[in-house]
Structure 1
């Protein structure tokens, strides 16, 4: 391993939520309708929305694998599926659930700052999609919990990302302005269409104009995008399968990178970047193996469809170049980072550990060896400088050894 003279800035870190993350600040009239946790004799928290179980049926921190425990599965060395190994309860590890303990751990790990993303929170919007008022009340409550327990980066270290939705344009703008007023440095949208619309539909131009003018990147992190409901069921799959019971075809068609690739295709071919040239998009925990093919796809599609309707306005000759200019990618730890750098440039590649999730790294510094073939300047950009720049942090001088 290289002996680093600077601290890392991690673009993909996580917390495990407490039982009251949706109920602590929920408005009274939604208290009995939002997500709630029911704890039974075995100690596992079952998650309900009203009387129904949700996509993520058990609180994810109650029965999880240790950080990095599934790394072999994704590197091709293990073939027995999503089996938990080295089972832990996140409540036994304060750094996974508490701000102060996490800062202490980051100091030990050589991490200066982290983008902090949900575990449960990215999997709930689709379960509420039929009730606009409940959706926004629940996201407001979650974001207020987030502000209270983790913060939006005022300390320069923990940059939690509030959850937003484009399900309703007016509600989306209200919550966007509220979290920006609270100091949010990034915002999150679920990949995929929302309410039957592309996220780049001109209807949402006020949203994109606001984030662009504020200099706030929009994060698309792997989520429950609802593809199992409107797409997977067209292929004989049962849409109600919970997260831990998704079939192989559902994993291939409905989860992982497909919603993200569809979203980036829509943003590009609906000309979001032509209308909002200051928008910055971050793809986190969606992998990167799809990128070069996506560049080819959008250019070919633009040529083939040049006489068709263009709901977002006329496209440039090579839309892939516009996408590359506005996109930053955080690859999976098992992805070929050299290939990604060749495709999009070192300035647009972000290091992410996925810590403390089992499919990520044992600890953030384990990523350094994946950049062995890069020169020192490129390593520093990926491990620190690029994410620091997106967060408005200075790329400080080396830390004395």
Structure 2
């Protein structure tokens, strides 16, 4: 505990991941459908999730905690080879205590970041029940096992917005605080947020009405960054934040924030160092191009006739958009431009970008030069306010 009025020894991570234990669907789907529900199957030394015609191994980079970087590999791993905190809530809390993580929001793994696996399923009736089963497990079991330590994030049936609204309302009543959404639905074959038929309007209205934060994880478009067809993998991975900038720009230039003034979005695992540049560039483009666009002139099929003439892009950002980072000294250096109220910390447990077990130390080192009130906001205050979340009383850390 620090000697000041702010407890800077704990953080809230708004982007972690859970490797679902084998019982999630097997315990919650009716017996006559259980064999068709997702199940973990062992075949010799191999282990895969089996669902419909799919066999999905667990990528080794999704479960690296406890290993050195020299041991990282994308080769498939079994649950027996993982640290128990990857899939067991009680073990996760122990790991959180070790690393100074007071609370955690976890994205799904087998369903993928916004439930794409169920959207791709053939039997949509069963898929809906699988979505519901996952959400019940997330709220009742994963989060319910340790009150005040986990922020409930839910998925939805992407293929039917009426069903999605029903699921949003159902889970919000159970305590959900975030809704997993996609950074870009187009690669999934779904309408984008710019859809002229307003496909996502009911979902976003429901999220706003129920005060669920719309959380978009990088990679939730089911695509990898791709500079060029033969670009090195690590170059593509380093370039990945550009997709998050594109997500932010789409939302800022859409009319969703104008229509839903209480809607909030979080850009998960996208870093923040790029935000000042793209806000500046967005203003330059808007100030110079809005007049012809507002007249209805098109340019190679682009521009609409209803471009507002009075958008304050920076105010839209401040009111609606939250950037999330793991390690980003460039972003912290530009905090005056981004805004101290629009930044949250992540630890990415148990993925290969994770700072575990040194999460609080790494976070504090990046922000130590800032006023303590600002440090507190970044470490936990902004997350508590945004997700309407009251964390548990911090436990006593070993060696404290």
Residue 342 (1) aligns with residue 345 (2): no
Does the C-alpha gap of structure 1 residues 395 and 59 become closer, same or farther in structure 2, counting only changes over 3 Å? closer
Moved more, 318-327 or 3-12: 3-12
Alignment of 1:128-277 (within 5 A): 128-131=118-121, 133=124, 135-151=127-143, 155-193=147-185, 195-199=189-193, 201=195, 202-227=198-223, 247=233, 251=237, 256-277=240-261
Does the C-alpha gap of structure 1 residues 387 and 269 become closer, same or farther in structure 2, counting only changes over 3 Å? same
SS of residue in 2 equivalent to 1:17? coil
For the 8 Å contact 1:10–1:352, the answer to whether it is kept is: yes
Match in the other structure for 2:370: 374
What's the TM-score once normalised by structure 2's chain length? 0.77
SS of residue in 1 equivalent to 2:353? coil
For the 8 Å contact 1:166–1:204, the answer to whether it is kept is: no
Alignment of 1:77-156 (within 5 A): 83=73, 93-123=83-113, 125-131=115-121, 133=124, 135-151=127-143, 155-156=147-148
Q: Whole-Å Cα distance in 2 between the matches of residues 100 and 124 of structure 1?
A: 24
Please give the root-mean-square deviation of Cα atoms over the aligned residues, in Å: 4.0
Q: Whole-Å Cα distance in 2 between the matches of residues 125 and 399 of structure 1?
A: 33
Question: For 1:285, which of 258, 269, 283 is the aligned residue?
Answer: 269
Does the C-alpha gap of structure 1 residues 350 and 252 become closer, same or farther in structure 2, counting only changes over 3 Å? closer
Cα deviation 1:162-211 (Å, max 9, x = unaligned): 12354321121121111112110111112212544223543322222222
Does the C-alpha gap of structure 1 residues 45 and 360 become closer, same or farther in structure 2, counting only changes over 3 Å? same
SS of residue in 2 equivalent to 1:184? coil
Q: Whole-Å Cα distance in 2 between the matches of residues 148 and 63 of structure 1?
A: 24
Does the C-alpha gap of structure 1 residues 393 and 83 become closer, same or farther in structure 2, counting only changes over 3 Å? closer
Cα deviation 1:259-294 (Å, max 9, x = unaligned): 433332222222111111111111121222331232
SS of residue in 2 equivalent to 1:227? coil
Q: Whole-Å Cα distance in 2 between the matches of residues 36 and 69 of structure 1?
A: 30
Q: Whole-Å Cα distance in 1 between the matches of residues 392 and 228 of structure 2?
A: 52
Q: Whole-Å Cα distance in 2 between the matches of residues 115 and 108 of structure 1?
A: 17
Match in the other structure for 1:76: none
Q: Runs of 5+ in structure 1 lacking a partner?
A: 71-79, 238-245
What's the TM-score once normalised by structure 1's chain length? 0.77
For the 8 Å contact 1:328–1:350, the answer to whether it is kept is: yes
Does the C-alpha gap of structure 1 residues 40 and 218 become closer, same or farther in structure 2, counting only changes over 3 Å? same
For the 8 Å contact 2:252–2:316, the answer to whether it is kept is: yes
Does the C-alpha gap of structure 1 residues 294 and 35 become closer, same or farther in structure 2, counting only changes over 3 Å? farther
Match in the other structure for 1:386: 382
Question: For 2:52, which of 50, 53, 62 is the aligned residue?
Answer: 50
Cα deviation 1:290-344 (Å, max 9, x = unaligned): 3123213433444423334549873633334312321111113245342342331
Q: Whole-Å Cα distance in 2 between the matches of residues 287 and 388 of structure 1?
A: 19
